[in-house]
Structure 1
Amino acid sequence: MLQDIRDSIRQHPKTWFYTSWLLLNLLQSYGTELLDDEAYYWVFSRYPDWGYFDHPPMIAILIRAGYALFPNELGVRLFMALMNTATLFLIHQMLLKNQQKLFYTIAFSMGVLQIGGILAVPDIPLTFFTALFFWQYRRFLAVASLVNALLLGLIMALMLYSKYHGVLIIFFTFLSNPKLFLQWKAWVAAVVGALLFSPHLWWQYTHDFPSVMYHLKERNAPEYSFAFSLDYLTGQILLAGPLIGWLLLYAAGQFRSKDLFARALQFSLWGIYGFFLVSTLKGRVEANWTVPALVPLLIISHAWLTDSAKHARWVYKLMPPALALVILVRLYMITDIEPLTSVFKDEMHGNPSWATTIKEKAGGLPVVFLNSYQRPSKYWFYTGDTSFGLNTTRYRRNNYNFWPIEKEWQGKTAYTVDRLLERLPDATPIETRKGLTYGKAIPTFQSNSWLRFQAISDDLSITDGKLSPFNFTVFPTSSADSLLTGTRPLEVVLDVFGKDSMIARLPLRFTNKEGNWYGSSNDSLSLAPGFYRAKIGVGTVLPLLYSQNSASVKLRVR
């Protein structure tokens, strides 16, 4: 029997590789609890739209389709497991050298392709459509037909609908082949891609470009730290490995080719790495942002290693320990040995127990969490009860500022949960699997985080202790008059931050002159000259807690 299996593997290695890869991922998908971001994206799928605060809609579409088939963790991750397997298959078809054994060995050695390949995050569809883009681009180079151009444009749009980073693949591919700028069919592809992506751009426009504001401004650190760049470089080596990452990057650096397809791979690989390295000058860069670069990395490193037997030996030597490490992580993810998992306090264990404990304390009331998009999403998924996340100025905006949940709960009794409630005398301690928190029933819940303020200028200023009046827009405009200058106007403040800590708060007053809104303050503020960050917040039913109602803006003190 075993001999028959060995013979079958030798005769049909591709079938065995992809079948076992997919089945293992499906099993892992079913048996592993959701990570925080996965639960958040599952909530995305409850509200179909052309866009979301954090990302385009592809991840929501895929989760919604999978969850309709299997209403559990497998459904959330179903299309991720399928796309991960299909990505490898496409890469396999694009290999520049015919060495299957080496390809399988590299794939087994790359932990992110196995463990990360099941996660319901935008990186998975982006990586799949990146592979599909390069596959179609090679076909376009061979035959520049109108059909191939249209298909290329469609795939460009699908990349962008997965994650904005897809634009880097498109840009560096065009940059690798300047003749494309003179080829009308290449422009057809670009125009088709832009037209298909335009519904999302319209969504951004009608929502005051929240994703642009967040990714280009709100995420920026107050000042540069060398740790940003060092962590990024270390993360890329581990992401490509964990044990052979250094070797794959070295091999890709040694690869040389004048072939247009290979040039597109090289430009995209080093262009992405370089772009995000420069981005560390503005703040922390997550290691996974470069995941689509793994497609060209795998192809060109495989090609060079095929011709370098000396270096290829290291791939075979390092594969067993790398695979053993991956297996241990897989087992940890799918099992729950409480003394072990409690030590790490990770995101993938104890979620049903945590959610059930809070639900029992809430006694059937709707639950509001503070300063988190993760906890309300996890609670919602594992209890089936709609939950809401109220973001204060000490946190950041997310899609809970946009969904209709908040408006639907106004004036109702709600149960609020957070460690911040510890200071309230009537808050109840709640001991959960994930640690101690506090809860409090709010008889008449009130908040207005759905209001959005946007300063016209990127800079606000304080001169001689007084805030200079600033022009701003407010959305939705239909609510502005009654909420800001009505008989009972909202309490609105400007919270000032130095690095990551709030250091001052100014109450704001508003005037409307000929249809233009202006904010100012009667109070004075004494701060050392320099630059700070500021956010506009609106009072809530909870004392001294203000929802975050604006992007972070620069504040200059003179």
Structure 2
Amino acid sequence: MSPSAAVPSPAASLSREVATRGALALIGLMLLWRLVLAAFVPLVPDEAYYALWAQGLSAGYVDHPPMIAFFIRAGQELVGDTPLGIRLFCVLAALPASWFVWRAADDLLEDPRAGALAAVLFNATIFGFLGLTLATPDAPLALFCAAMVWGAARLVRAPRPSIWLAMGLATGLAAQSKYSGVMLAGAFALAVLALAPLRRQLLTPWPWLAGLVALLVFLPNIVWNATHDWATLTKQGGRVTAQAPFRPGFLPEFIGSQIALATPLVFLFAVIGLLPGRAAAMFRPGGGRGLVLLLLFVPLAYFAVHALRARVEGNWVGFLYPLVALAAAAGMLAPAGSGWWGRHQPGLARTTLPLAFGLVFALGIHALFVPTTLAGNKDAVVRMTRGWPEFAAEIDARRRQIGASAILTNDYQMTAMLKRELPGVTVQQFDERQRYVFMNEPEPLSLPGPLLLVLSTFRSFGEISAAYGRQDMGEVSRRFRDVTMPPVRLFRLDPLAAPAPATAAPAP
């Protein structure tokens, strides 16, 4: 290597310094914006549900592994059981996640500005912003998957035993956040087999020790599942769609959701960054581009197949956004070529961050103030966050009117929100009781009557049909300004008299 190649030029050093300062300022501003939203936007129902988990810490829960419960509990210990307390550690996770993305891009891309740009792009995507603001399992998952991407990049660029062990730790923590982390681990395992710089390291003990570390970190959740009828594995495995009918219309919906969550120009430059050509030359020699392609496309292949038969929720792919940001940085920094794209690439690159940050800012303003309700109850912000205190008060007034000892529901989100808004009232979901094994609640059928039943969806009454008489009390709807949400139906439940005990027939 020539001295000129080994030592950055003064111009390159200045460019890197300017990029670093700008990136740190933008990431800091985004952190402050997250904190404002975390403090003042009401909780969404899933966050209220995960906050219940934090009341009963466990090695596992029916829906997901436990990491989000520990994040929430840590914030509550510092700030209290407030929206900010519940979301605090998810927001703060954006800082180390940004550092991991930054370092991974520095390792894999040639341009000295690449790390700073990739970190900013990660924060500027809708998923990167919301996923590390809301208190859901996606926040710790994004953090630890970003750590995995950094570890993989380091192992391609400059492998060391400590990096392998860090990779094992990050993998175990990602799996403890959400089982999607196992998909990224599987993609990395294929990369180890496919890429010579990684494959050679299989001759050392460190990859195998990394796998052992990951297994040990994940082991508590495996043990919990083993003692709870494999509840989480069964629930998440139920999303497999091999027997579902062929419905390819979900595939364009999946692609559209990712364009929206990445923001359109970040998505465009990520695609450009993965194509062969000028963007490919942005990757350092030694397998870095192959690593990114494998880490991205192995999970994406599964989601594409899934989308041919069933809906893929947009956030399911969020753990790949550190790689999306890295690919987008490669696409934006690639030298412009000739033709239409060459003429427009510089302008589009300059527009990418202002557009992305503008969308993030507008989304935050809408979440804070809801300046318009034109979308009605199709507006996700209105549907999930508004009108809950008044709605809960109306439900409680109906409960007190009939002297009910408790409220029963058939929906986990409704249960969580009513529990939160009515802290002195017994609220229980009468079905799917496995969700609440950590709460040490009495069985709903043992509660003294009368009870108030709130049906969010008109499914079967289950065991309640045999145990209670029902009196229809009409419908109640949650409202916000001129928007009315779909109604719930209320029933008064009165215990039926126990049947007389059977008596033996008299002897002849």
TM-score (norm 2): 0.77
Q: CA deviation at 1:34?
A: 1.2
Identity %: 23
- Over 3 Å counting, the alpha-carbon distance change for 1:241 and 1:408 in structure 2 is same
Where in structure 2 are there 5+ consecutive unaligned residues? 1-16, 194-198, 337-341, 462-468, 480-484, 503-508
**C-alpha offsets along residues 301-356 of structure 1, whole Å, 9 cap, x if unaligned?**
31242123443531322443443332222111012458558553520212222222
Q: Which residue is equivalent to 1:388?
A: 428
Q: Is the 8 A contact 1:123 1:291 kept in 2?
A: yes
Q: CA deviation at 1:444?
A: 4.2
Q: CA deviation at 1:401?
A: 6.9
Q: Which residue is equivalent to 2:323?
A: 296
Q: CA deviation at 1:445?
A: 9.6
Indicate whether 1:199 and 2:245 are aligned.
Answer: no
Q: Which residue is equivalent to 1:98?
A: 112
Q: Which residue is equivalent to 1:36?
A: 45
**C-alpha offsets along residues 122-162 of structure 1, whole Å, 9 cap, x if unaligned?**
11111111111222344445665444333322211101101
Indicate whether 1:163 and 2:202 are aligned.
Answer: no
**C-alpha offsets along residues 380-404 of structure 1, whole Å, 9 cap, x if unaligned?**
123324522223xxxx786147753
For residues 186 and 123 of structure 2, what CA distance do their matches in structure 1 show?
31
Indicate whether 1:442 and 2:493 are aligned.
Answer: yes
**C-alpha offsets along residues 163-212 of structure 1, whole Å, 9 cap, x if unaligned?**
11111211211211221444321000001211221111111111111222
For residues 322 and 373 of structure 2, what CA distance do their matches in structure 1 show?
38
- Over 3 Å counting, the alpha-carbon distance change for 1:124 and 1:411 in structure 2 is closer
Alignment of 1:71-150 (within 5 A): 71-95=81-105, 96=109, 97-99=111-113, 102-103=117-118, 106-107=121-122, 109-141=124-156, 144-150=159-165
For residues 146 and 42 of structure 1, what CA distance do their matches in structure 2 show?
38
- Tell which deviates more after alignment, 79-88 or 101-110: 101-110
CA RMSD of aligned residues (A): 3.2
Matched pairs, number? 437
- Over 3 Å counting, the alpha-carbon distance change for 1:316 and 1:399 in structure 2 is same
Q: Which residue is equivalent to 1:404?
A: 440
Where in structure 1 are there 5+ consecutive unaligned residues? 1-7, 447-486, 489-558
Structure with higher helix content: 2
SS in 2 for 1:94: helix
Q: Is the 8 A contact 1:412 1:445 kept in 2?
A: no
SS in 2 for 1:427: strand
Q: Which residue is equivalent to 2:169?
A: 154
Q: Which residue is equivalent to 2:256?
A: 234
**C-alpha offsets along residues 283-306 of structure 1, whole Å, 9 cap, x if unaligned?**
222121111111112113312421
- Over 3 Å counting, the alpha-carbon distance change for 1:285 and 1:218 in structure 2 is closer
For residues 124 and 327 of structure 1, what CA distance do their matches in structure 2 show?
19
For residues 367 and 315 of structure 1, what CA distance do their matches in structure 2 show?
57
Indicate whether 1:17 and 2:56 are aligned.
Answer: no
Structure with higher strand content: 1
Paired letter, 1:216: G
SS in 2 for 1:405: coil
TM-score (norm 1): 0.70
For residues 445 and 296 of structure 1, what CA distance do their matches in structure 2 show?
59
Identify the match of residue 374 of structure 1 among 396, 401, 413.
Answer: 413
- Over 3 Å counting, the alpha-carbon distance change for 1:147 and 1:123 in structure 2 is same
SS in 2 for 1:93: helix
- Over 3 Å counting, the alpha-carbon distance change for 1:431 and 1:191 in structure 2 is closer
For residues 388 and 372 of structure 2, what CA distance do their matches in structure 1 show?
12
Q: Is the 8 A contact 2:272 2:331 kept in 1?
A: no
SS in 2 for 1:56: coil
Q: Which residue is equivalent to 2:482?
A: none
Paired letter, 1:175: L
**C-alpha offsets along residues 421-456 of structure 1, whole Å, 9 cap, x if unaligned?**
99954425435424543333434499xxxxxxxxxx
Greater RCO, CA 8 A, separation 6+: 2
Q: Which residue is equivalent to 1:427?
A: 473
Q: Which residue is equivalent to 1:332?
A: 366
For residues 9 and 351 of structure 1, what CA distance do their matches in structure 2 show?
46
- Over 3 Å counting, the alpha-carbon distance change for 1:11 and 1:89 in structure 2 is closer
Q: Is the 8 A contact 2:188 2:294 kept in 1?
A: yes
